[in-house]
Amino acid sequence: MNSAPPKLLVFAGSTRAQSWNRKLAAVAAQLAREAGAEVTHLELAEHELPLYNGDLEARGLPPEVLRLKQIFHAHAGWIICTPEYNGSYPALLKNTLDWISRPVPGDTEWSDGMRPFAGKVVGLLSASPGSLGGLRSQSHLAPLLLVLQCWVAPKKFALAKAGEAFGPDGGLLSEASRKSVRAVVDQVIWAAERLAP
């Protein structure tokens, strides 16, 4: 087990300015810092990627893909806050993971597309104005992460009625919800400390 605190990557699968999942990611990042993790709170809006296209890839990997590969690889654990679109996770999240998983021919460091993913511990959170809180998006995202060779934490949390869940400062109004988020964060930290190389 590593003695240094684990590095945790926290991000939301949304770029919308008032996204409930971006707010939830901010809460998770703060709770992870309070738990002793070294946290990077990633905003996907700062790393715009084109829609994946093999012909585009053949002309050269977008520079942002390599940057994201490095960021994802550098963290032993991740917390993903996924919106739910039509009962599943959003295209933005799928597109990001698809690009990051692409091998880079001729690059000895990134020739294995699974390198940024293999062995990472991933905790899933979601937020939705509906009564299920985005739970269906988590159920679709987990198998994808397993294919990418990630460890998916058993604890998950779906924040229902997200429009009523946050205060003016962006914090969660319900202590029960806060504890549920912290439980996911704690499990990811616990597992990352033991599974990280």
Q: How far apart are CA 79 and CA 145, in angstroms?
A: 12
CA distances 6 to 1, 122, 145, 197, Å, are 10, 13, 20, 11
Q: How far apart are CA 20 and CA 145, in angstroms?
A: 22
pLDDT in tens, 112-152: 999 999 999 999 999 999 999 999 999 999 999 999 999 99
pLDDT on residue 3 = 66
Cβ-in-10-Å burial (0-12, 13-18, 19+) of 119 comes to: middle
pLDDT at position 1 over 70? no
Q: How far apart are CA 72 and CA 122, in angstroms?
A: 11
pLDDT in tens, 58-111: 998 999 999 999 999 999 999 999 999 999 999 999 999 999 999 998 899 999
